[in-house]
Chain A
């Protein structure tokens, strides 16, 4: 029994390992195709990526990805495809930045206020998709895709017309007014000239909370049950509509925190330089991390490291864009490997169950004899 479990665990480990191997292979081919030496490229990436400040940068890049992955995984766990994390976090970051700049509160309160505004805005934006699904039967993939684009337009409108900092002189910067010092998080430490952003700690707490919520509470049990077998969950008294609304709210609220690390630690205002596309990256990270907080953390760190380490490539005359292909291949091969391994595991489980049944039958016959 134990050996079967170990075998299954090893099979699951195959998913990320094979994806990374394949991604390296494809990137090597791409590098060879443009006449570069893949080995030396990877070696300089490894050298640059293992410097202290690179490791700090890796963590800083990984934190928003980790939060985004958590937001997406929340929905995935009950088969809800929240493609709308992108729109949710952009609207949320904009409103949180504007609200945070409008008030001055004592330190921790100010931080908490900004985070609450972000979570509320994200949850509200996600709730539109949830309500449309429950009340009008609109599939969440379609509605969240529409809501992403609406968020882009609405955000641009709000920023340029209402939330923008009044222009000083001929300054053309489009941004919200800066948040006061009480609404900023100081660096946890400074290592080799790079700030270790304090939001990493909050993200860690968030990750643990999500784990506890999904795997250690009644709500989480219902959520996972609804994802694995909605009919069985309904039969055991779980109201699917309520679950959908609650999950969308939670997912949106977490999405509302994606931009906070950059907001608290660096930009202190909503500007057009804030990273975009984190919602879609979050989908990738959740997929690669197999929807588990630990896996998501590892995936976010890997993606963060690749992003950072690739910066050296430009100095060596190699287009660093090759890593976008690396990441894309990782995503595609993870999802394919995941499906293949799941089929393998299922057949193993079926075999194990058949074996157990046969033994039981034999014993019964022995007893009867």
Chain B
């Protein structure tokens, strides 16, 4: 009897997961159709051009890396507010090594710089038991100071100064897929099939073509590595023994300890990986996005990464979706003001549908809120011609707050996330 019960529960769980994967694909398809429709109705090609998608990818990578960094730390139960500071260390060391020894060294040193920040956080919070938020805030202050100090010493008089480095030559390989996006194949310039489709301007077909072209042309090797990190993170944390032990430190450290898991070690690993990924995000900003270190270059992306992690419900695929969404908003903001305005219409339609769906599910608060925001967006779209830049800047933060306000009951963070753990002391 009981075995049968377990079987059904397991089958249900598996069915649920398969269904949700299909649902995600469906949702993605729906988004593209809706975007294509809005593009067609408002006449703003910038909304779905391959350039926009390419920029989306480039802007999403640092957010994704920071978000994954947050994920590793919080899955072992450690909050990492210091991501921003670790990213700053990544930018500085990435720029310095990139300038001195070449781009690959920039990547390596950037990662090591972030890891060093992670080590400080780990020693303070795990070994000494300092409050995790306090330590994170201190690291953010300290990292900014260290970067400034080192810049003054190293970059001044070398073509840089207190707030920026000399130009960093970036020769990291970029990949363009032959035939599809017109990449070179043994010296032969292959046709750009997707580009041809995109230029035709067909409804939906060209939009889809542009999407694929954006993801297949001029893609940095770092971007590819980052994208591979998403499934790798899932497999590592959910399919390996070490991953299970790390997560157990975040779900219930005392139970894990009683089963012989070395909780402190797990937390150290989580925080060090967290710092490494934040450092890599910094290195990406320097080597791929800017070609130079500038003070304030991270621009709060560590915090956006944190937002992406929450938005993505502490799951790798969720973090990736959220990073993509935030990157898309950034890309539109950078490239075309019309498209941002058209995005208001997209948001209004999407939120209205979501609101109706919530209401049929009897989730009154969320439904009414979504409908109200949809109405506001529609009004905004109707009475204005363009959207101020600052609003796009705050979009990720507002979206995260709204998700938290509406769906915080449905979010599932690690149970003992942020709760201090001392060996042998059961608290709470």
CB of A136 within 8 A of CB of B408, answer: yes
Contacts of B388 in A (CB 8 A): 157, 161
B134 at the interface (CB under 8 A from A): yes
Scan B363-404; emit 1 where CB is below 8 A from any A CB, else 0.
000000000000000000000000010110110011011001
CB of A322 within 8 A of CB of B149, answer: yes
Contact for A280 among B140, B310, B404, B405, CB less than 8 A: B140
Interface residues of A in 51-96 (CB under 8 A from B): 81, 83
CB of A154 within 8 A of CB of B394, answer: yes
Contacts of B398 in A (CB 8 A): 146, 150
Number of B interface residues in the complex (CB < 8 A): 44
CB of B133 within 8 A of CB of A83, answer: yes
Contacts of B307 in A (CB 8 A): 145-146
CB of A339 within 8 A of CB of B303, answer: no
Known contacts: A136-B404, A149-B300. The answer to whether A324 contacts B148 by CB under 8 A is yes
CB of A332 within 8 A of CB of B142, answer: yes
Known contacts: A83-B137, A284-B138. The answer to whether A325 contacts B397 by CB under 8 A is no
Interface residues of B in 251-310 (CB under 8 A from A): 300, 303-304, 306-307, 310
Interface size class of A (residues with CB under 8 A): 35 or more
Contacts of A141 in B (CB 8 A): 79, 81, 133
User: What distance in Å separates the Cβ of A14 from its nearest Cβ neighbour in chain B?
Assistant: 15
Interface residues of A in 185-208 (CB under 8 A from B): none
Contact for A287 among B134, B153, B400, CB less than 8 A: B134
Stretch of B6-14, B24-32, B124-132, B183-191 with 4 or more beta carbons under 8 angstroms from chain A: B124-132
Scan B55-71; emit 1 where CB is below 8 A from any A CB, else 0.
00000000000000000
A153 at the interface (CB under 8 A from B): yes
> Once bound together, how far apart are the Cα atoms of A30 and B152, in whole Å?
13
> Once bound together, how far apart are the Cα atoms of A287 and B400, in whole Å?
29
A17 at the interface (CB under 8 A from B): no
CB of A146 within 8 A of CB of B401, answer: yes
Contact for A339 among B130, B138, B400, B405, CB less than 8 A: B130
Known contacts: A143-B404, A321-B162. The answer to whether A280 contacts B141 by CB under 8 A is yes
A283 at the interface (CB under 8 A from B): yes
> Once bound together, how far apart are the Cα atoms of A298 and B53, in whole Å?
53
B144 at the interface (CB under 8 A from A): yes
Known contacts: A324-B144, A328-B138. The answer to whether A149 contacts B128 by CB under 8 A is no
Contact for B149 among A148, A152, A321, CB less than 8 A: A321
B146 at the interface (CB under 8 A from A): yes
- Binding site of A, secondary structure by majority: helix, strand, loop or mixed? helix
Residue of A nearest to B400 (CB): A146
A98 at the interface (CB under 8 A from B): no
A25 at the interface (CB under 8 A from B): no
CB of A149 within 8 A of CB of B142, answer: no
User: What distance in Å separates the Cβ of A153 from its nearest Cβ neighbour in chain B?
Assistant: 4
A336 at the interface (CB under 8 A from B): yes
Residue of B nearest to A286 (CB): B134
Known contacts: A149-B303, A319-B153. The answer to whether A327 contacts B404 by CB under 8 A is no
> Once bound together, how far apart are the Cα atoms of A138 and B152, in whole Å?
41
A335 at the interface (CB under 8 A from B): yes
> Once bound together, how far apart are the Cα atoms of A149 and B144, in whole Å?
18
Contacts of A106 in B (CB 8 A): none
> Once bound together, how far apart are the Cα atoms of A108 and B306, in whole Å?
45
Contacts of B391 in A (CB 8 A): 153, 157
Contacts of A327 in B (CB 8 A): 141, 145
CB of B397 within 8 A of CB of A136, answer: no
User: What distance in Å separates the Cβ of B293 from its nearest Cβ neighbour in chain A?
Assistant: 15
CB of B404 within 8 A of CB of A150, answer: no
CB of A331 within 8 A of CB of B138, answer: yes
Contact for A324 among B145, B390, B397, CB less than 8 A: B145
Known contacts: A157-B390, A161-B388. The answer to whether A143 contacts B401 by CB under 8 A is yes
> Once bound together, how far apart are the Cα atoms of A149 and B401, in whole Å?
12
A142 at the interface (CB under 8 A from B): yes
Contacts of A233 in B (CB 8 A): none
A132 at the interface (CB under 8 A from B): yes
Residue of B nearest to A281 (CB): B141
Contact for B148 among A138, A145, A148, A321, CB less than 8 A: A321
Known contacts: A319-B152, A332-B120. The answer to whether A142 contacts B310 by CB under 8 A is yes
Given contact pairs A146-B303, A332-B138, A338-B130, a sample of 10 additional A-B residue pairs in the complex whose CB atoms are under 8 Å apart: A34-B153, A141-B133, A142-B404, A154-B390, A284-B138, A321-B152, A322-B149, A328-B142, A332-B120, A335-B138
> Taking beta carbons and an 8 Å cutoff, which residues of B are in contact with A?
79, 81, 120, 124, 128-131, 133-135, 137-142, 144-146, 148-149, 152-153, 162, 300, 303-304, 306-307, 310, 388, 390-391, 393-394, 397-398, 400-401, 404-405, 408-409
23 cross-chain CB contacts under 8 A: A81-B133, A137-B408, A138-B401, A141-B79, A141-B133, A142-B400, A143-B404, A146-B397, A146-B401, A149-B397, A150-B397, A154-B394, A156-B390, A287-B138, A321-B152, A321-B162, A322-B149, A328-B145, A328-B146, A331-B138, A331-B141, A332-B124, A335-B135
The 6 closest A-B pairs by CB, nearest first: A324-B145, A328-B142, A153-B394, A157-B390, A319-B152, A146-B397
